[in-house]
Chain A
Amino acid sequence: MKVYDVVPGLEFDPERDFAQSPAWFLDGTHSVPPWTPMFGWFWINFCRHGMQYGAEKLSLPTVKGWDWRFHNGGGYLTLMLVNSEEEKKARETEFRKAILPFIEDYDGLWGGFVQEMLGRYENLKALDLPEASNIDLLQNFEDTISTCRRMWEIHMYMMYGTYTAYILFENMCRDLAGIDDTSPEFHSLVSGFDNKVFQVDRRLWEFSKRAREEGLADLVVQCGPDQIRGKLEESVAGKGFMRDFMAFMNEDGWRMQRMSEINLPTWVEDPTPALVNVKQFIQKGGGFNLDEERKKITEQRKAAEKTVLAKIPQEQRGWFERLMVLAQKSGVFSEEHDHYLDLYTHAMMRRSALGLGNRFAQKGAIDRAEDIFFLIPDEVRRAGLNPDQFDLRYIVDRRKSEWNEWQKTPNPPAFLKEGFDLEMAMGVLVRSMDPIALKVVVGSMPQVRPELKADLYGTCGSPGVAEGTARVIMSEEELHLIEEGDILVAASTSPSWTPVFSMIKGVIVDRGASLSHAAIVGREYGIPVVMNVFEGTTKIKSGQKVKVDANLGVVFILDK
């Protein structure tokens, strides 16, 4: 029998796909290292659907969302532009109406979606997987598929609408108040807001205080990451601590260790990453006060709001202030959507797939429960109701060996048609006016200013200057290597990295824009972030002393 493609219909095919678009970009933030087949299937199908759904629902005047292809575990994407002026005009008229709900009742809109998704998650979690019938397990999996599809619709509709407001605010700040998004004042304006991700961090910090109070601190600090839980379970106080900690995990731990993959345990299954965060907070010492740190940022923001509003002509202040409030919600949305949408849905995908995986393994369709991540939904369905009748190991084996090959050779950053270069491709993205392209994917291009004699030139994600030891971190598994006062160097960061921001003095990322994770979180923790240096992770070595000047957008390597 023929083995299917990983994502049937959406595998990258140079001959056909270059005819559609000359440039396909690797989604380096989410698909490096390469995805497992099942996760790739979900992402390519539904992120693609969501982006087109969001653009269509809002009737974005210039773009129709993005198209996606799968290649060796990587996701490649390209913009779909509106080509005729006539169509642009028609879409503008629709857009003017479609964007109103964002302006008029942002919180109602976002809050409603959060409730809808939480309801779906509760329904999915209600099934007792080990006890469930094959019929119920398969149904749960089908429901998970439709939940993931719905999640991406909400995700991209919200993201397009939210970021449109943010970009307008940036433009207006520049035009009316003379400040742009590389200025520290601008960053103060959009930081100092609480959100769900910070609340989780705050709980972790509180657990670190509790560990200190209950005399568990030394034990936690002396353990390696994998031993913390076991050592704690040995004492009475530690048992009580772990019981409450696991209750917290069951509430807020429905998230993946790696944001966009399902082959690593959730915090609920394995709380090690969360315990490492607790350990890191303990190492910061008793003088550290997360609340105080956050309060300072909030006060700075309020001061910046006053200064900026004073620069706006009186008669323009009304709408400008409303726009500012709306733009300020962008940062909150950027962080919260990861928690309520991506991370939670992925945790549900893992849960449901493993439910079937365990059943398949018991019945002999596959060897191990985790092997299910090497199947795609159609293959899962084949054996869904009668796993004892099917042997899917030949598919798993083939896919696994392919997947192992993918890990060895990195996917190229872009597929470009002959005669088309990266600069031209970037130009298309910028001219598209696609809010996601501008604020997450591309960002601003750094200006090289030789007179500064810097080693790397980037853009300001969060203002400030810092000096410290560089720590190059390539994946979530290396996060525990970070020490107090380090300067984090990474390709990019994601929500599972948030807790380490309270330990580090600065951030250097290869790629990023003013609404990418590193910038938002850097601003909230008041540390400098330089983005879009492109070669940070290749030029800087762990242990080197570096100086980050985010105000100028540059990095100096002090001991070359």
Chain B
Amino acid sequence: MSKKWLYWFEELNSGHYELVGKKCANLGEMTGLGMRIPPGFAVSVDGYERFMAETGAGELIRQFVRENSDELKSVKKQMEASRVIRKIVESQEMPPDMTEELYRYYDELKQRAAADEIAVAVRSSGAVSMPGQMETYLNVRGREAVVRKVIEVWGSAFTTRAIAFRIEKGMAMEKAPIGVAVLKMVEAKSAGVVLTVLPTIGDTSKIVVEGNWGLGESVVSGDINPDQFIVDKQSGCVECTVNRKTKMIVYKDSGTATADVPEDLQSRRCVDEEELKEIVRIATEVESYFQCPQDMEWVLDHSGSCPHNLYWVQARPAKFSKPMEKESEYLAELMTRMFKC
């Protein structure tokens, strides 16, 4: 029997970074913490490697690299290489036994979601940080489409920047420590992010929640002016800024599209008080579990009521500007000077 390469999230935890990539390992860890995440499974790095070996794509890439090794140093050539390698990957068919297994997991996922037909997100899950955006496909429907998108995510590991990075680090070109997450899409009423630190000034006494109607991508991309709620961790006191939200991202037949927010929703807060409390409660718990400020993505489902409609799709350590040492020292100096008069 061949090596296991598909995992339900509940089988994973943060020890599985190298096996399934950070995103999947985190989703597993989040499941273990009792956070509600959309049901789904992970495609491990072994799955990628098996695909590359069985289809011969790995050999084709190696061959291409051997033939072009000298020229690959130029950026222009790297752009071309990206195109060629992605094509090599994406033009392969998934081996039949792998397809079978993916179908089996997908069908069970439908059962778990208690639905005949479900839409899933197929997301890349890198094990080491690789520069360049790897693809994420939303609103994928049907088992054939899922198989196709998994291959496309693998292909997306070969962006120009990622190729340049491999050359710089002397990494084998066909290697891509990349996992894939396949998870049920939540019918998003609203979605957004929560940070357990004010990133601009590194104030860890506050939590900031940002959200918009529809899918969370509009908030993550920073294209719109989301609602913002700044919550004081100790007192629970909230500062609300409700902005006019004219655009949102919604599903269309396959994939997503930008749509207008209905007039009556534009100036309404997209998270009610109870939902906000629940988001903050979970975020605080996760932060104290990991002992470091978190950057998390949440989704509120159309159906169901709080807290059952709250799903989490991401939790990772927050990047924030630590109070700059120089600034601290400057302030200390100003305070010292104050005593001289």
What is the interface of chain A, defined by CB distance below 8 A to chain B? 60-62, 88, 92, 95-97, 99-100, 103-108, 111, 164-165, 167-168, 171-172, 193-196, 199, 298, 302, 318-319, 321-323, 325-326, 431, 433
With the chains together, A196 CA to B205 CA distance in Å? 15
- Assess whether B335 is in contact with A164, with CB atoms less than 8 Å apart: yes
Contact of B335 among A168, A298, A302 (CB under 8 A): A168
- Assess whether A322 is in contact with B201, with CB atoms less than 8 Å apart: yes
- Assess whether B336 is in contact with A95, with CB atoms less than 8 Å apart: yes
- Assess whether A194 is in contact with B232, with CB atoms less than 8 Å apart: yes
21 residue pairs of the A-B complex, CB under 8 angstroms, read: A88-B339, A92-B339, A95-B335, A95-B336, A96-B333, A99-B332, A99-B335, A103-B331, A105-B204, A108-B204, A164-B338, A165-B331, A194-B232, A194-B235, A194-B236, A298-B239, A318-B324, A319-B327, A319-B330, A326-B331, A431-B341
- Assess whether B336 is in contact with A96, with CB atoms less than 8 Å apart: yes
With the chains together, A321 CA to B324 CA distance in Å? 13
With the chains together, A171 CA to B337 CA distance in Å? 12
- Assess whether B327 is in contact with A199, with CB atoms less than 8 Å apart: no
Q: Nearest residue in B to A198 (C-beta to C-beta)?
A: B235
Pairs of residues from A and B, 10 with the lowest C-beta to C-beta distance, nearest first: A194-B237, A194-B235, A61-B339, A107-B205, A103-B328, A319-B327, A96-B332, A62-B339, A96-B336, A433-B339
Residues of chain B within 8 A (CB-CB) of A302 are 239
Residues of chain A within 8 A (CB-CB) of B234 are 107, 111
With the chains together, A106 CA to B329 CA distance in Å? 15
Residues of chain A within 8 A (CB-CB) of B331 are 103, 165, 168, 319, 322-323, 326
* Residue B203 lies at the interface, judged by CB distance under 8 Å to chain A: yes
- Assess whether A168 is in contact with B235, with CB atoms less than 8 Å apart: no
* Residue B323 lies at the interface, judged by CB distance under 8 Å to chain A: yes
Contact of A103 among B205, B332, B338 (CB under 8 A): B332
Q: Nearest residue in A to B323 (C-beta to C-beta)?
A: A104
- Assess whether A168 is in contact with B203, with CB atoms less than 8 Å apart: no
Chain B nearest CB from A136 CB (Å) reads 34
Interface centre among A103, A164, A193, A323 (most CB of B within 10 A): A103
Interface secondary structure of A, over-half rule: helix
With the chains together, A136 CA to B27 CA distance in Å? 52
Interface size class of B (residues with CB under 8 A): 20 to 34
* Residue B114 lies at the interface, judged by CB distance under 8 Å to chain A: no
With the chains together, A171 CA to B324 CA distance in Å? 22
* Residue B1 lies at the interface, judged by CB distance under 8 Å to chain A: no
* Residue B115 lies at the interface, judged by CB distance under 8 Å to chain A: no
- Assess whether B341 is in contact with A318, with CB atoms less than 8 Å apart: no
Residues of chain B within 8 A (CB-CB) of A195 are 235
What is the interface of chain B, defined by CB distance below 8 A to chain A? 201, 203-205, 232, 234-237, 239, 323-324, 327-336, 338-341
Residues of chain B within 8 A (CB-CB) of A105 are 204
With the chains together, A323 CA to B329 CA distance in Å? 12
Residues of chain B within 8 A (CB-CB) of A60 are 339
With the chains together, A108 CA to B205 CA distance in Å? 9
With the chains together, A319 CA to B328 CA distance in Å? 8
- Assess whether A168 is in contact with B338, with CB atoms less than 8 Å apart: yes
Residues of chain B within 8 A (CB-CB) of A111 are 234
With the chains together, A62 CA to B335 CA distance in Å? 12
Residues of chain B within 8 A (CB-CB) of A165 are 331, 335
Residues of chain B within 8 A (CB-CB) of A168 are 331, 334-335, 338
Contact of A199 among B235, B328, B333, B340 (CB under 8 A): B235
Chain A nearest CB from B269 CB (Å) reads 14
With the chains together, A172 CA to B334 CA distance in Å? 10
- Assess whether B203 is in contact with A325, with CB atoms less than 8 Å apart: yes
- Assess whether A322 is in contact with B327, with CB atoms less than 8 Å apart: yes
Q: Nearest residue in A to B331 (C-beta to C-beta)?
A: A103
| Other A-B pairs, 19, CB within 8 Å; known A95-B336, A319-B327 | A62-B339, A88-B339, A100-B329, A103-B328, A103-B331, A108-B204, A165-B335, A168-B338, A193-B232, A193-B237, A194-B232, A194-B235, A195-B235, A196-B235, A318-B324, A322-B201, A322-B323, A433-B338, A433-B339
Residues of chain A within 8 A (CB-CB) of B327 are 318-319, 322
Chain B nearest CB from A108 CB (Å) reads 8
Q: Provided the pairs A194-B232, A433-B339 are in contact, do residues A100 and B204 lie with their beta carbons within 8 angstroms?
A: no
Residues of chain B within 8 A (CB-CB) of A92 are 336, 339-340
Residues of chain A within 8 A (CB-CB) of B330 are 319
Q: Nearest residue in A to B233 (C-beta to C-beta)?
A: A107
Residues of chain B within 8 A (CB-CB) of A106 are 205
With the chains together, A326 CA to B331 CA distance in Å? 11
With the chains together, A302 CA to B339 CA distance in Å? 31
- Assess whether A321 is in contact with B339, with CB atoms less than 8 Å apart: no
